[in-house]
Amino acid sequence: ARAMWYIMQSIQSKYSLSERLIRTIAAIRSFPRDNVEDLIGRGADVNGMHGTLKPLHCACMVADADCVELLLQKGAEVNALDGYNRTALHYAAEKDETCVEILLEYGANPNALDGNKDTPLHWAAFKNNAECARALLENGAAVNARDYNDDTPLSWAAMKGNLE
């Protein structure tokens, strides 16, 4: 038992609390929500960047709506950019309508541009996520937004054969 304690201590000291927060969210399927709350309670920065990601972006990537809401309640910046100039809404739009709706409720910009001038609606169309596209459109997403290639979300959907 003592050897295990030393192993856990060395692992815990290897990473900052904020980095462990992102690692925990990334492994959300195997860690309970309590671990995320515990790390935040111990001082992990809900807006801390690790690599190219912030915790909110990571929670959207794994489509964990409860974690998204918790991070926002604890002060995560809803329109913060990651290393690719994407907001969490860009990631949520690919995967999960509930995450999209929560982000929009907290003031996410439905027309935020990423590094390629793609909006969350572009990503929803590209991934054939009709529910997310609907939620974005109902909240003011620009249907005619053009990216750096002059493509609209509709042209992305057509290119992918996603015409729903």
- In order of start, what are the domains of the chain with their CATH numbers? 16-160 (1.25.40.20)
* pLDDT of amino acid 123: 95
- Is the sign of the CA dihedral 113, 114, 120, 121 positive or negative? positive
Q: Say if residue 8's pLDDT is above 50.
A: no
Tens digit of each residue's pLDDT (9 = 90 or more) over 118-148: 999 999 999 999 999 999 999 999 999 999 9
CA distances to 111, 114, 154 from 144, rounded to whole Å, are: 11, 16, 8
Tens digit of each residue's pLDDT (9 = 90 or more) over 63-103: 999 999 999 999 999 999 999 999 999 999 999 999 999 99
Strands (DSSP E) contained in 43-115 are none
64 contacts: CB under 8 Å, gap ≥ 6: 25, 28, 99
Tens digit of each residue's pLDDT (9 = 90 or more) over 45-64: 899 888 888 999 989 998 99
Which residue type sits at 58? C
- 120 close to 154: Cβ distance less than 8 angstroms: no
Count the alpha carbons within 13 Å of 160 in the hemisphere toward its beta carbon.
18
Share of the chain above pLDDT 70, in %: 77
